[in-house]
Amino acid sequence: MTSILEDLWFGNIEPQAAYLENDKHISKLLTLIDRNRDKLNDTLTEQQKELLEKYESSVKDFNCEAEEAAFEYGFSLGVRLIIDCFTRQRKITFD
């Protein structure tokens, strides 16, 4: 059995899917990335293509690790903010 946090991380729950799929700016950026990579790939030798693939794999691994750490930190920060709100003894009044 997985936790909700694990389900979010591993993509079993995808709250960002609708945002990313419908965001025109993101779509344009992805198209630009693909087009530029294809142009670059067409100019490289086989040895350079292998090196580019290794580079991209390393960048992808780094990004996955960084995204996971940022996700965990952001979630933890959100929980701490909620706890802080519920544990304060201040009485708030609205006039």
What's the confidence (pLDDT) of residue 93? Answer: 66
The reported pLDDT for the residue numbered 26 is: 85
Q: What is the 8-class DSSP label of residue 13?
A: S
Mean pLDDT of all residues in 1-13:
76
Q: Which pLDDT does position 34 carry in this prediction?
A: 93
The pair of three-digit structure tokens given for residue 82, joined into one six-digit string: 């909620």
Tell me the per-residue pLDDT of 22-73, one tens digit each, with 9 for 90 and over: 788 988 998 999 999 999 999 999 999 999 999 999 999 998 899 889 888 9
What one-character DSSP code corresponds to residue 90?
P
Q: What is the pLDDT of residue 65?
A: 92
